[in-house]
C-alpha cells in the first residue's frame, strides 16, 4: 500500500503520483522541445507535497496545452496502477484526477480554440503520455529519490528511454 500524503490542494495522494505528474510535464516538454530548468517535488509540513516544472514562457498554445495536460494524465495513470495493486481490496478511481493550477492553464489556452482543436490536443497529450510511460517512470523515480531533477538529467533519462523503445521495437 503506497503512503498517501497530503497534496497542496488538500487531497491525499501517494508521492509517486505527484512524481509521475511532474515527470509527465517534463517528458511532454522534452518531446515537444520546450526548455525547462528543473523539475521538483517539495514537501511542506503545512502545505503538503507539491511539485513543479520551471520552464521558459512559451507562447505556443498547442505546446502549452499538451505540457499542461501531460502532468495530470501521467499522475492519473500512476494512480490507477497503484490502486490496482492494493492487496485484498478492489479499488477504482472515480471521477477525474486533475490539478487546479494545470486546469487553469489548460482552460486559458482552450478558451480561444474550437472543440475540434481541443479534442485533437487532448488526444495528442494522452497519446504522448501513453508512449512515454518508461521515460516518465524513470524521471519519477529520480524525483522520489532526489526531489530535484535538472533539465540535463531529465533529457538523459528521456533519451535513454527512447533508445530502449527502439531496440525492443516497442
Q: Enumerate binding residues for Zn ion (CB under 5 A).
A: 71, 99, 102
Question: Cα 43 to chain center, whole Å?
Answer: 17
Nearer to Zn ion, 8 or 165 (CB): 8
Q: How far is the CB of 21 from Zn ion (least distance, A)?
A: 5
User: What is the maximal distance between C-alpha atoms in the chain?
Assistant: 48
Nearer to Zn ion, 17 or 133 (CB): 17
Q: Cα dist. 119→63, 65, 110, 140 in Å?
A: 14, 11, 10, 27
DSSP-derived 3-state class of residue 149: strand
Nearer to Zn ion, 48 or 71 (CB): 71
Q: How far is the CB of 88 from Zn ion (least distance, A)?
A: 32
Q: Cα dist. 24→63, 88, 100, 126, 140 in Å?
A: 13, 30, 16, 10, 9
Q: How far is the CB of 81 from Zn ion (least distance, A)?
A: 18
123 C-beta neighbours (distance < 10 Å), count: 10
Nearer to Zn ion, 14 or 71 (CB): 71
Q: How far is the CB of 107 from Zn ion (least distance, A)?
A: 14
Report the chain's C-alpha Rg in angstroms. 16
Name the residue number minimizing CB distance to Zn ion: 71
Nearer to Zn ion, 56 or 114 (CB): 56
Q: How far is the CB of 163 from Zn ion (least distance, A)?
A: 27
- Among residues 51, 16, 2, the alpha carbon closest in space to that of 149 is found at 51
- Give the separation between CA 36 and CA 56, rounded to whole angstroms: 6
Amino acid at each position: 500500500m503506497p503512503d498517501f500524503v497530503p497534496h497542496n490542494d488538500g487531497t491525499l495522494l501517494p508521492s509517486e503520483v505527484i512524481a509521475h505528474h511532474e515527470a509527465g510535464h517534463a517528458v511532454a516538454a522534452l518531446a515537444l522541445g520546450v526548455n525547462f530548468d528543473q523539475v521538483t517535488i517539495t514537501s511542506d509540513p503545512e502545505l503538503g507535497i507539491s511539485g513543479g516544472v520551471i520552464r521558459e514562457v512559451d507562447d505556443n498554445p498547442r505546446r502549452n496545452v499538451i505540457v499542461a495536460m501531460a502532468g495530470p494524465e501521467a499522475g492519473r495513470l500512476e494512480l490507477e496502477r497503484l490502486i490496482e495493486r492494493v492487496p485484498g481490496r478492489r479499488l477504482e478511481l472515480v471521477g477525474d484526477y486533475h490539478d487546479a493550477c494545470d486546469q487553469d492553464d489548460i482552460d486559458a489556452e482552450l478558451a480561444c480554440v474550437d472543440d475540434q482543436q481541443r479534442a485533437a490536443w487532448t488526444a495528442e497529450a494522452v497519446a504522448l503520455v501513453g508512449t512515454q510511460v518508461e521515460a516518465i517512470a524513470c524521471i519519477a523515480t529520480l524525483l522520489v529519490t532526489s526531489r530535484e531533477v535538472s533539465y540535463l538529467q531529465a533529457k538523459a533519462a528521456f533519451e535513454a528511454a527512447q533508445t530502449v523503445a527502439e531496440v525492443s521495437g516497442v
